[in-house]
Amino acid sequence: MTLRNILLGATMLCAATTPAYAFAQDAAAPADAGTAVDDTDYGNDIIVTASKRSQTLQDTPVAVSVTSAAQLEDAQIRDLIDLQTAVPSLRVSQLQSSANTNFIIRGFGNGANNAGIEPSVGVFIDGVYRSRSAAQIGDLPNVERIEVLRGPQSTLFGKNASAGVISIVTQKPQYEFGGSAEVTYGNYNAITVKGDVTGPISDTVAFSIGGSYNRRDGYAQDLNLDTDVNDRNRWGVRGQLLFEPTDALSIRLIGDYDKIDENCCIAGNVIAGPTVAITDALAGGTSIDRENPFSYDVYNNFLSSNKIENYGGSAQIDYDLGNLALTSITAYRQVRADTNQDSDFTAADLIGEKSDYVDIDTFTQEIRLTSDFDGPINFLLGGYYFNEKVNQQSAIKFGDDFRPYASALISQASGGAFNAAQLEAVMGSANGTDYSGQFFRAGDGLDEAYKMKNEAFSIFGTVDFEVTDRLTLTLGGNYTKDRKRFSTNVVSSDVFSGIDLTATGGRALTQQFVSTQVGGILGVPGGMASAEQVQAFAQAQPAVFQQIATVGTQFGQLNSTLNPADVADDGNDFTVGNPLLALRPLQFLPPFLNVPNAVESGKTNDGDFSYSVRAAYELTDTVNIYATYATGFKASSINLSRDSRPTAEDLPAIISGGLGLPNLVSGSRFANPEESTVYEFGLKGQWDVAAVNVAVFKQSIKGFQSNVFTGTGFALANAGKQSTFGIEFDGSVRPVDGLNLTLAATYLDAKYDSFVNSAFGDISGATPAGIPELSLSMGGTYTHEFAGGTKAIAHLDYSYESPVQIVEGLSGFPASVAQNLKREVNSLNASFTVRLTNGIDVGVWGRNLTGAQYLTTIFPAVAQAGSVSGYPSQPRTYGGTIRYKF
């Protein structure tokens, strides 16, 4: 029996016999959608609005997991990165900076490392879409709940999300004066301060204001710079006004500002390649901690920086028209992310600058009309408008050590025939150019500027038809039109990357042969005659020189092309036929063909109609089932990076049109749209002391947008199709008063049905990397009330992910290397809180108490063939908290 069959049988048995737990409410709910739910109160119906109308959880036929405010407090979940320990279907990976965080639901997700790629998982905060991770990861005061809606959400959200939605809800202002204050201190000198105040301004106006400050010393040590790194430094404020001039009208205004200024994120060495000896020599000692990523000891030559400003405002208007409710949400947001990283992750100054400044302005408008008729038919009809401008300035520049580093690599590749200076002389002679001191010059590289404007609108809605008192059919649709315009202004000052080594190879090799032969005859030290010496020899001995030149020309012609046998063998361009071709990896900053041009318009224009069909049936008063077929859509993503290249279809026209540049090859300017589908069967039950959620699904995305780091850049490509069969179970039971036990489990069987043009060749049939087959989250909370009302609350939760291959492949390595690099997660969190009757909580907590160590992401080391780097998981953290609520 397969693991799938075992889990399917066990899950359906649990669904029939074991109580389970799940709360669900929606971020885009009307302002009066209810208050936070006491986690210990399982006897009452829980009102949710995940379907954009008020229903009980049991009646809401949507696969959704919700983490309540109490759970966030008990588990010390500080941000969305921590949230994955409570939601097994969610994975969150922070990459090279605080501004690059990737969210994955059910094995689908992308969007980091490129401002032109919208995420497949949409993040909404109080109903407002946050389009990039830099606008999503800041701490929020007074969070009421965080919801994870799984699968494509096309007919409920105007902004289509092909993989799922993370919806964060903060508490609205109250008409009773109250608030809270919290201070936390933990290891690594961590200090967190949070507070909020709410109350009435008048009988019809209420306010709330909250703020947070979150800092921590770095848990890693940079031994070269003698400082701690991977610190935390964030603060933010958020204010709200609630106007309710009549019983029918509600206006909620929200304004917020948050700032991040951190040193992030360290990468440890996983595999030490042959270049480490060179970087050690250049650094004058240790340049990396070899193959020890969990030492949290790193060696850089400058501190990486992450400065993010995120601010904006929104206005939500709800108007009650009797049997109809009108909702409008208007929002404007700005994100400024300024990062610079020592991206070679060594003490040698190879990459002196890798900076990105991204400026994103977003305006959104959503309007919905929802019915509440007594009859069998009800509907939701909405419209959504999205307008975004992205401006990005980036740079990658050689550091002071790159020239000697490249010189050593050139000497190795040429068998000692060249160093950087000799290569300049030979190529200068071959091309008639003086290259002296120009190859790999410090400060040379790429200066990049990108602009993109995205304008989109959608019309969406659902219709519910109550066939009987127990059976409801729902039809939904979403038509989306998405237009993008983009332009680039990228200039390369890297002289070496602008040389065509194939065309130059014959001339350079001929020149090398002649110089060597003449130098040998003349007895020149070093063996190579200068151009002046060759010219003088030709004049003095023309007959001998002519013989040498003839043989040299034949030598150059024979060796200036690729070796066909080698190409047929393994596709490796670095052949002995032309040793100069072995230097191509050093040409990773070539001249850039900017867009728009005579062939490429720099525009995309996408349109799509997504829909859903669902049947929900009430088996009993406590058990409901539903079946859903739904589709989703995500528009084209733009490759706003130095790795943007003309498509293979456009390249011939570009070359024939005279737009060709040295070393210009095909690649991707943009990725085509994603189209997702899901078949899902769900069961929901709720009893006095328990509740249950089960979902069995088959979900797929055609054209999944893959963005993979290759060591010198990113490869953006569409997979033909990626699909996942999955089973999700989450539940809780209260066996005795005061004790609540929870279990959530996700089984995923994922594969690439078709992915021919991946960065690692045809990987059709392979399992997508980073998606564990089995994920578990289990926990327990025990509350004991003493005489007089004081409570003691003990909480324990454990998360597990089965071993999984971290990446599909590693450029320059055999497939077996990537297959053997796996991640397994075992993480234990705990807290103990004493809740006094005067509103004061005093508690202690710990996260990752087992000290679990795993690599979140691995990648080929930047410009260091044979080495692999990786981002290690966070170490054990612990501390104490004092909280006061009034």
| Helix 501-522 × helix 542-559 angle, to 10° | 150
Q: Where does a domain end: 151, 168, 185?
A: 168
Q: Does 778 share its domain with 638?
A: yes
| Helix 420-431 × helix 402-413 angle, to 10° | 80
pLDDT of residue 96: 63
pLDDT of residue 109: 79
Q: Does 382 share its domain with 267?
A: yes
Residue 79 is assigned to a structural domain of this protein: yes
Residue 429 is assigned to a structural domain of this protein: no
At 309, list the tokens. 């400003």
Give the Cα separation of 811 and 806 in Å (integer).
14
Residue 554 is assigned to a structural domain of this protein: yes
Residue 11 is assigned to a structural domain of this protein: no
Residue 352 is assigned to a structural domain of this protein: yes
Q: Does 337 share its domain with 194?
A: yes
Q: What are phi and psi of 509, to 5 degrees?
A: -70, -35
Q: Does 489 share its domain with 548?
A: no
Q: Does 205 share its domain with 162?
A: no
The CATH number given to whatever domain includes residue 152 is: 2.170.130.10
pLDDT of residue 579: 62
Q: Does 226 share its domain with 111?
A: no
Q: Give just the sign of the alpha carbon dihedral 633, 635, 640, 646.
A: positive
Higher pLDDT residue, 196 or 579?
196
Higher pLDDT residue, 707 or 289?
289
Per-residue pLDDT band at 289 (split at 50, 70, 90): very high
Q: Does 494 share its domain with 505?
A: no
Model confidence at 562: pLDDT above 60: no
Please tell me the total count of domains within the chain. Answer: 3
Task: Kindly state the DSSP code that residue 883 receives in the 8-state scheme.
Answer: E
The CATH number given to whatever domain includes residue 626 is: 2.40.170.20
Q: Does 875 share its domain with 729?
A: yes
Model confidence at 560: pLDDT above 60: no
The contacts of residue 212 (CB under 8 Å, 6+ apart) are 139, 140, 141, 192, 193, 194, 195, 234, 235, 236
Q: Does 457 share its domain with 345?
A: yes
Model confidence at 512: pLDDT above 80: no
Residue 581 is assigned to a structural domain of this protein: no
pLDDT of residue 33: 32
Mean pLDDT of 59-87: 78
Per-residue pLDDT band at 842 (split at 50, 70, 90): very high
Q: Does 159 share its domain with 216?
A: no
pTM: 0.85
Q: Where does a domain end: 545, 571, 597?
A: 571
The enclosing H or E element of 249 equals: strand 249-262
Q: Does 41 share its domain with 138?
A: yes
Q: What is the total residue count of the chain?
A: 886
Mean pLDDT of 798-804: 94
The contacts of residue 682 (CB under 8 Å, 6+ apart) are 61, 63, 625, 626, 627, 628, 693, 694, 695, 696
- How do residues 200-245 score in pLDDT, each as one tens digit? 999 999 999 999 999 999 999 999 999 999 999 999 999 999 999 9
Q: Does 624 share its domain with 728?
A: yes
Residue 9 is assigned to a structural domain of this protein: no
pLDDT of residue 542: 84
Range of 47's domain? 19-168
Q: Where does a domain end: 126, 147, 168?
A: 168
Lowest mean pLDDT among 523-532, 603-612, 866-875: 523-532
Contact 578, 561 (CB under 8 A): yes
> What percent of the chain is modeled with pLDDT above 70?
86
Residue 662 is assigned to a structural domain of this protein: no
